[in-house]
Amino acid sequence: MEDEYEKLVRRLNPPRVVVDNDSSDVATVIQVDSVNKHGTLLQVVQVLSDMNLIIKKAYISSDGGWFMDVFNVTDYYGNKIRDQEVINYIQKTIESDASLMPSVREAVGVMPSEADTSIELTGTDRPGLLSEVCAVLADLDCNVVNAEIWTHNSRAAAVVHVTDRSSGCAISDPKRLLTIKKLLCYVLKGNSEYTTAEMRLSPPGTHRGRRLHQIMFDDRDYERMETIGQAGLEEKYPRPLITVADCSEKDYTVITMRSKDRPKLLFDIVCTLTDMKYVVFHGMVASGTMEAYQVKNFEFYIRHIDGRPIRSEAERERVMQCLEAAIERRASEGLELELCTDDRAGLLSDITRIFRENGLSIQRAEISTKSGKAVDTFYVTDVEGNPVDQTIINSIRQEIGQTVLQVKQKSCLSQKPAQETTMSFLFASFFKRPKPQSLKRNRYCN
C-alpha cells in the first residue's frame, strides 16, 4: 500500500528540470527538483552520464521527502550545452517516469528480447581471455553486436549482446543457449578447479554500466588480491583517497574522496552507494588539480536506507573497499586503441586473436556496431600490466590496417586549468567537521 502511495505522490509531483546557460561562465547548470526516493539521485546522474556529459561540480540536498540537485556540466570537449535538442532531451528524460528504471538484480535469467540476446559473463581474468571468449562465440555462429568488458583485481565481467549469425535475430533456443553457457563457462574457468565462472541472460533494457558494477560487486572484486603486474601498476597510477568518519551531531556518516578525474566517475560512485543501500542526503562534487592530474573531490553525508549511519569498523572498511573498486573498475590506464571498419562475421575474434598473439592484455573494452560499421575501443597493456612497446603497436596496425586501428589520446577530459585547486566543503557551516582522530584513512593519490 505504501508503494502505491509513493507512486501516486510521484505522479502528482513529477521531477522539474531547469537548464541554465547564463549563471556560469564555464558550464551549463542543471537543477533537478523532485520527490525523493531511494535511487533517484542515481537515475538523474545516469541520464547525464549516458549522454557523455562531464560533471564539473554537483550539489546534492535531499533531506525530508524532497531533493534538489544542481549539476555544472560540459560536453566531452569542455563546452557548454547549447544544442536545444540535447537540452530538451535532458529535460524530457529526467522528468519522464519512463527514465526511472527498476533494479535488475532480481530480474536476471528471463528470456532474451527479439532484437538480440544479452549475455552476462563472470570469471577470473587472464591474458587472452577475451580472445578465447570471442573465438567460442564465433565457432557457435554468434555475432557480437555490442559489448562492454571490465577487468579489476583479477576478476573479469562482461555484458555481451549477440545475435544468430544467419538470421540476425536473438538466440532463443534453450538447447543452444545451454551449449553456449557450458562452453563459455569452461573458457572462463580456465584450468583451475577452484575459480568460479558464470553465464546468465540479462533482461531487456538492462543498463550495462550499472549491471557491470553489480556483477563485479557480487563477485567480491573489492577484495584485493595479489596478481601479476599489480605492484607495478600501484606504483605508476594514483589510487583514490577515501575517508569515512562520524558526523554525530547530525547522525550522518561523512565520506570524503579524492580521485583522478575521468568521465562517469560520479555515476560509478553513486551506483555503488545505491546498490549497497546507502542514501546520500547532502553532498558536493568539485574539480581540482593535484600535481599533473585533474582530480575530483567528493563529500557525501550518508545513512543506510534504514536510517542508520555506519556503526562498525567492519562496515567502514567494506564501504571504503567497495568505493575504491567502483572508482577503479572503469579507470583506463592502458593504451587506448580504436578500431573502425566494416563489420563482418568473426571480426572481433580475429582482432582479439591478433592482440593475444602479440602479447597484449585487454584491460577494458567497448564493442559496438553502427550502420554496418564496427566501432570498438580497447584499453591494452602487456601481460604484466606495463605500457605496450610502440614497435608492437606499429606491427599490429600494419597487420590490421593503419587507418582501421588508431591510437587515441589517453586524456579525454578538457585540459583547461581547473578553477578550484583545493577541496572545499559545501556544508562546512552546517555540519561540524569530525575530529581528525575519528577519520579512517584508506589510500592517497600519489
Cα(372)–Cα(177) distance, rounded to whole angstroms? Answer: 25
95 confidence band (pLDDT: 50, 70, 90): confident
Query: Could you tell me if 101 and 41 are in contact, meaning their C-beta atoms sit under 8 angstroms apart?
Result: no
Task: Tell whether the model's pLDDT for residue 239 goes beyond 90.
Answer: no
Percent of the chain with pLDDT over 90: 68
Q: Among 98-107, 267-276, 402-411, where is mean pLDDT lowest?
A: 98-107
CA distances from 270 to 150, 334, 426, 446 (A): 18, 25, 18, 24
Q: Among 10-24, 159-173, 351-365, 405-419, where is mean pLDDT lowest?
A: 405-419
Give the chain's mean pLDDT: 84
Task: Tell whether the model's pLDDT for residue 117 goes beyond 90.
Answer: yes
Task: Tell whether the model's pLDDT for residue 267 goes beyond 60.
Answer: yes
Cell of 396: 599490429
Helix or strand (DSSP H, E) at 312: none
- Average pLDDT of the residues in 309-336: 94
**Residue 168 exposed, middle or buried by CB count within 10 Å (0-12, 13-18, 19+):** exposed
The amino acid present at 378, given as its one-letter code, is F
Q: Among 3-7, 11-15, 149-153, where is mean pLDDT lowest?
A: 3-7
Which phi and psi (to 5°) does residue 381 adopt? -135, -175
202 confidence band (pLDDT: 50, 70, 90): confident
Query: Could you tell me if 330 and 268 are in contact, meaning their C-beta atoms sit under 8 angstroms apart?
Result: yes
Cell of 250: 547530525
Higher pLDDT, 225 or 355: 355
Phi-psi region of 357 (alpha: psi -120 to 50; beta: other; left: phi over 0): alpha
Task: Tell whether the model's pLDDT for residue 104 goes beyond 50.
Answer: no
Task: Tell whether the model's pLDDT for residue 98 goes beyond 50.
Answer: no
**What is the structure's pLDDT at 158?**
97
**What is the structure's pLDDT at 232?**
43
231 confidence band (pLDDT: 50, 70, 90): very low
- Average pLDDT of the residues in 62-79: 88
- Average pLDDT of the residues in 336-342: 97
422 confidence band (pLDDT: 50, 70, 90): very low
Task: Tell whether the model's pLDDT for residue 302 goes beyond 90.
Answer: yes
**What is the structure's pLDDT at 34?**
85
Cα(269)–Cα(263) distance, rounded to whole angstroms? Answer: 12
List, as one string, the DSSP characters of 215-261: HHHHTTTTS----TTHHHHHHHS---EEEEEEETTTTEEEEEEEEE-
97 confidence band (pLDDT: 50, 70, 90): low
Q: Among 56-65, 108-117, 271-280, 425-434, where is mean pLDDT lowest?
A: 425-434
Percent of the chain with pLDDT over 70: 80
pTM of the prediction?
Answer: 0.84
**What is the structure's pLDDT at 113?**
54
Task: Tell whether the model's pLDDT for residue 418 goes beyond 60.
Answer: no
Residues 284-295: tens digit of each pLDDT: 999 987 766 789
**N- to C-terminal Cα separation, the chain:** 52
Cα(290)–Cα(296) distance, rounded to whole angstroms? Answer: 10
Task: Tell whether the model's pLDDT for residue 333 goes beyond 60.
Answer: yes
Cα(147)–Cα(108) distance, rounded to whole angstroms? Answer: 17
Cα(426)–Cα(133) distance, rounded to whole angstroms? Answer: 47
Query: Could you tell me if 170 and 163 are in contact, meaning their C-beta atoms sit under 8 angstroms apart?
Result: yes
Q: Among 186-190, 240-244, 331-335, where is mean pLDDT lowest?
A: 331-335
**What is the structure's pLDDT at 250?**
82
**What is the structure's pLDDT at 194?**
59
